[in-house]
A and B are shown apart, each in its own frame.
Chain A
């Protein structure tokens, strides 16, 4: 019904009776604003179904909601400081079991880097604990020292391949840069490991993998 309402609006381009209005009848007003947020309904909704099944499912749903919050999969955001320290908070703290995924089923890049930060720097035991609880901290520290000395990521890869599944660590160049999770030494580490990038990379291709450009803004990758 795209008629242009140019000169003299009364002429319709089609037979108005076909759509049910008679000639000269008052047409409904043009709506000039969006519909109301909570429109009135003419008819009240039908009441909800009740019954044993429905009641059980309701209880299940609410229980599941609470349970999910306590599972290790629920990642908490750091809470804002409470205005008043509540005594009962001590009794309501939820101790979550740590969850360690089966690394064999996941891409290698998923493994957190093994910079053990035991101490007050780690925000939440869960997040960093994931890495440290899995491997022997002494081994890991040793490894890291070795690596930093040699600065030779490729060799450490070969060493890794000898070890069984879950202890595998991907030392590809970009993984070293993952330490930007470390709050303090962010910038320094990146600078250090830039050198490793060149040595380690099997597949680094700046064109395809535009993400590299994030961290090295001085390299124009095209």
Chain B
């Protein structure tokens, strides 16, 4: 049976470390753990993190990462001992994890450096395709590649990014054309200005007069105003194509590859200034997208454009975790509408009134000056989106009558068994069945209201209610399990067909090398026939299944985003 979010809130840290005679983790940990309330990670989240780390960085990094997620903050030696990995490998794994912002370090007293994993950041790896695609829609291919490089490498200097992206873009261009560094730089600056990329905390320059031994680890600092400051670089140059012609379109590496050369010798102008993708900014964008499309679905295109304008105006003035945006006057909104939009002021006012009156309360009216002051209720909007998700899940899992009961209980807040039957107009037996089904899956909960102080069951009201926060948590947990299942199934499918996949790869490799050395069509045909028709069929089926599983992962991650945003927003209120 799965552990729900830790019973008491302590982590599993109090378990004794494996095979540690006497001086085990159990001796030291309880003292420390008893005084620290670490954020617990459910089994499902840990499992998912494990799968993600393994797919992206290999088993060694996965072992170290999962160990840190389970046990919290630990020093280097303890990690090596507890995981039974050589110190060298632990170091390399930690370097990789730190580079990708998945692990942070802290210097404790007596110079001990402890490493802590950021579990929620690991889960963000699921969302990389969405971040990259968003960058593409906003800043086209150049922006897309910049964000992709930053995500793939964790952190990079601007000059390195610009060079890499220019090279990659040049590869895709026609012969003779190259991508100029200046153009890539411009896009980078735009990304920084709109906060989609940000500076990493850096090592402050210290004077050499500092006596005594150097600290065991540098303290990295960054302040708000430096975070989006682009260094003045004059990056001049153009992207280069890779010289060798052995590479073919499938991206297979060449048989002989020159060693990574001379670039190390050039001085890097912005050495030490690293950039990373600002995931929070992307999340803000996704949230805004969600709200706009919800308004479009519920009302019409024009309303959604108005809401989009309001959100755009608030991007800079409102912090992303505020419950509602700064008030905007109707006049301001009118002036900021997109250029092509020809609606008159009165029509705009009508729309705003309509939006403010809508029971979903996405938009609220906060005053009358300036033609009417309006805000967007971000928290309420997230709540509505989360609730809609819950309703949709109930409908698809249990049927539309169940959904009706669910919406009813949501609306009326607390209902007795009898009342549910009456209001929903569903026969008692079925209503009871549906309620218990939803109850057993924790979409609905029972609230006890005792009539007498002794809480006697015969004299207690039992009311059905929906606690949105806990239902959202439950659903989120299921989403994590779903994605873990999807990944495992995909890996299983791939493994099942491993022999066939390898064969097909070998055939492709042979064909590629034959093409490079100039072979006749007939010979190539012969090689291709090494894969029989039923095998091709099998490969087709595999591809289709893997695509489906991958696409499902992406879609479940969207739900995860919604639920996590809502839960986070709610927790901040409390």
Contact = CB atoms under 8 A, between A and B. Distances in A.
Given A15-B458, A75-B61, A88-B510, 16 more contacts: A18-B458, A20-B417, A20-B428, A43-B396, A48-B548, A48-B551, A53-B133, A58-B547, A58-B554, A75-B96, A95-B257, A104-B203, A104-B218, A106-B218, A111-B91, A210-B27
Interface in A133-172: 157, 161, 168, 170
A14 B458 contact: yes
A58 B23 CA distance: 49
A118 interface: no
Interface in A6-37: 13-15, 18-21
Nearest to A180: B87
B561 interface: no
A57 interface: yes
Given A58-B547, A209-B77, A178 B88 contact: yes
Contact of B133 (A57, A68, A76, A203): A57
A104 B268 CA distance: 15
Interface string A54-80: 101110111011111011011111000
Majority secondary structure of chain A interface residues (helix, strand, loop or mixed): loop
B86 interface: yes
A112 B213 contact: no
Interface string B451-473: 00000111011100000000000
Given A74-B57, A208-B110, A214-B77, A13 B458 contact: yes
Given A75-B92, A110-B94, A214-B77, A61 B417 contact: no
Given A14-B457, A86-B506, A112-B88, A57 B98 contact: no
Nearest to B421: A20
Given A42-B399, A64-B128, A127 B92 contact: yes
B132 A60 contact: yes
B551 A54 contact: yes
A97 interface: yes
A108 B112 CA distance: 11
Contacts of A21: 432
A3 B456 CA distance: 11
B81 A214 contact: yes
Contact of A13 (B130, B153, B457): B457
Interface in B500-546: 505-506, 509-510, 512-513, 546
B531 to A, nearest CB: 14
B214 interface: yes
Contact of B89 (A45, A60, A75): A75
Given A110-B91, A112-B88, A49 B272 contact: no
B95 A106 contact: yes
Given A46-B396, A61-B554, A107 B217 contact: yes
Interface of B: 23, 27-28, 55-61, 75-78, 81, 86-89, 91-96, 98-100, 105, 107, 110-113, 128-130, 132-133, 136-137, 148, 152-154, 202-203, 213-214, 216-218, 220, 251-253, 255, 257, 260, 272, 274, 396-399, 416-417, 428, 431-432, 435, 456-458, 460-462, 505-506, 509-510, 512-513, 546-548, 550-555
Given A20-B417, A48-B548, A213-B23, A104 B272 contact: yes
A127 B255 CA distance: 22
Contact of B513 (A54, A91, A102, A210): A91
Contacts of A221: 23
B457 A61 contact: no
A215 to B, nearest CB: 9
A19 B133 contact: no
A111 B551 CA distance: 40
Nearest to A130: B92
Nearest to A110: B91
Interface residues of A, number: 78
B469 to A, nearest CB: 25
8 contacts: A18-B461, A18-B462, A21-B432, A75-B93, A92-B509, A102-B274, A209-B110, A221-B23
A214 B137 CA distance: 54
A94 B89 CA distance: 21
A209 B75 contact: yes
Contact of A109 (B153, B216, B456): B216
Nearest to B130: A57
Nearest to A68: B56
B268 to A, nearest CB: 11
Contact of B58 (A18, A42, A77, A111): A77
B554 A57 contact: yes
Nearest to B506: A88
A41 to B, nearest CB: 7
A67 B129 CA distance: 13
Contacts of A46: 396
Contacts of B93: 75
B75 A58 contact: no
A71 B164 CA distance: 14
A61 B87 contact: no
> Which among A53, A105, A181 has the highest number of chain B CB atoms within 10 Å?
A105
B112 A208 contact: yes
Nearest to A59: B129
Nearest to B109: A208
Given A58-B551, A110-B95, A209-B77, A105 B218 contact: yes
Contacts of A214: 77, 81
Contacts of B129: 57-58, 60-61, 64
A64 B78 contact: no
A91 B550 contact: no
Contacts of B461: 18
Contact of A15 (B130, B136, B457): B457
A68 B99 contact: no
A14 B77 contact: no
Nearest to A207: B28
A19 B58 contact: no
A121 interface: no
